[in-house]
Amino acid sequence: MNYLDFNEKTCNLISLNVRGIRDQSKRRSIFSFLKDQKASFYFLQETFSVVEDEPIWKKEWGGRMIFSHGSRHSKGICILIDPSMKENLEYSFSDNAGRIALITVSFNSIKLSLCNIDAPNNPNDQLQFIQELNNCLRDKVELTTLIVGGDWNCTLTKKDKKSGLIWRPTNFRNAILITMDIFDLIDN
């Protein structure tokens, strides 16, 4: 969980890869867990959501949800806003691939842009994804207060790698570092 302080006003955010929440019992359990965490915003990846799920899931959550749908078996992300928050949603964007959801909100006299991502695993799709993300961020966000979170499906350094194949820098990793530099992002 990350905590952000804006002149004595705290905003916290949780990012979680849920690996599918189509099952009602699992979804309700996750929603209950998230509400107990008392965060302001929640980034979920791999929701496996489709448009028809929105009304049911929003009712179960009890607050605002911004989706980028995948399929019933893969992808899909959403941003959940704490039901008790008094925010003004100024802007929202979702791509058609279930990979990017972006909002700009105002609350407690703070304007904040939040972007939830789920980058592809396939190296052939990763560079196209990062280009689309860069275009989205360049065109649609309040850059002074930008938070990008989610699942990058990439390790930036050798020390981040825990197991599996030997770590090597990739073109996608290099593109992420360029994106971080362009938008003044830090790895937290």
- pLDDT of 172 reads 97
- CATH says 2-182 is which class? alpha beta
Closest listed residue to residue 74, CA positions, set 102, 101, 49, 42: 49
* pLDDT digits 0-9 by tens, 54-76: 999 999 999 999 999 999 999 99
Residue boundaries of the structural domains of the chain: 2-182
Round the average pLDDT of the chain to a whole number and report it.
Answer: 92
* pLDDT digits 0-9 by tens, 100-130: 999 999 987 888 999 999 999 999 999 999 9
How close are the terminal C-alpha atoms of the chain, in Å? 10
Cβ neighbors of 77 (< 8 A, separation 6 or more) are 43, 44, 45, 46, 47, 67, 68, 70, 98, 99, 100, 101, 116, 117, 118, 150
Q: What is the pTM of this model?
A: 0.93
Give dist(CA 147, CA 137) in Å, integer: 10
